[in-house]
Amino acid sequence: MAKRVIRVTGKGQIKVKPDMTRITITLDGVQPEYADALECSAADTEILKDLMEDMGFKRKDVKTLSFNVDTENESYRDKDGNWKSKFVGYRYDHIVKVEFPSDNKRLGRILYALANNEALTPDFRFSFFVKDVEGSKNELLGKAVTDAKAKAEVLTKAAGVALQEIISIDYSWGEIDFEYRPMKNSILAEECSLADLSRSYNIDIEPDDIEISDTVTVVWRIG
């Protein structure tokens, strides 16, 4: 005899307030020789670490996300008007991050320092994220299971059967984004007012709560 079961999918939804700030910085450039690209990348990284140290970070707080050196080519037309490509050097891309508890004043000082440093011309962006990701995921799953149980109880009561033990719980384990990204440095000047005396941007950003949802499917035996 086939098992008598009920399968119900529950949905959990929560709102989480971001409490951390992440600044992602890209250091890049092109040099004629591979060794020169490595040397320039290392020099840029040291300048950036010096800058971050002045901003109250430890040098080890500057974390590498990715590093790559690849050939750089540019297109041109020959004398017959045909498009061709020529080698111009080696491009290095070093992407790093620094993270700290959200503080608009500190964020403004760091962004000003990055935007006005004469030795570097980095591309950078900032975002807000949730520190306790696991705690938020657990809360979300708990709400999803509670929702599934509530639905199962309604269904079994209406069908005149009894809800018994759980046979299985299926969760997708998909990646959940706990990050809020308001802007890149390209629009920084339009969004932030410059305060030369304090050597800082006047940042007045209150990140919105991050709304997340997920589902679980629970199978119960019924009798």
Report whether 21 contacts 99 (CB < 8 A): yes
pLDDT given at position 179? 87
Q: How far is CA 150 from CA 128, 163, 195, 213, in A?
A: 34, 11, 55, 17
**Whole-prediction pTM value?**
0.79
Q: Reply yes or no on whether the pLDDT at 195 is more than 90.
A: no
pLDDT digits (tens, 9 = 90+) for 69-92: 999 999 988 888 889 889 999 999
pLDDT given at position 98? 97
Q: Which domains does the chain have, with CATH numbers?
A: 5-15+134-174+214-222 (3.30.110.170), 17-75+87-130+180-204 (3.30.70)
Q: Reply yes or no on whether the pLDDT at 209 is more than 70.
A: yes
pLDDT given at position 2? 59
**CA–CA dist 170, 215 (Å, integer):** 9
- Which residue shows structure tokens 């941007």? 201
pLDDT given at position 118? 85
Amino acid at 22: R
pLDDT-wise least confident of 30-34, 173-177, 190-194, 208-212: 190-194
Q: How confident is the model at residue 197 (pLDDT cuts 50, 70, 90)?
A: very low
pLDDT given at position 18? 94
Q: Reply yes or no on whether the pLDDT at 194 is more than 70.
A: no
Residue predicted with more confidence, 43 or 178: 43
Average pLDDT (115-134) is: 90
Looking only at the bridges linking them, the beta strands covering 123-129 and 163-171 are: unpaired
Q: Reply yes or no on whether the pLDDT at 191 is more than 60.
A: no
Mean pLDDT over the full length of the chain: 88
Q: Reply yes or no on whether the pLDDT at 190 is more than 70.
A: no
pLDDT digits (tens, 9 = 90+) for 132-189: 999 999 999 999 999 999 999 999 999 999 999 999 999 876 777 888 887 654 444 4
Among left, alpha and beta (phi > 0; psi -120 to 50; other), residue 160 is left
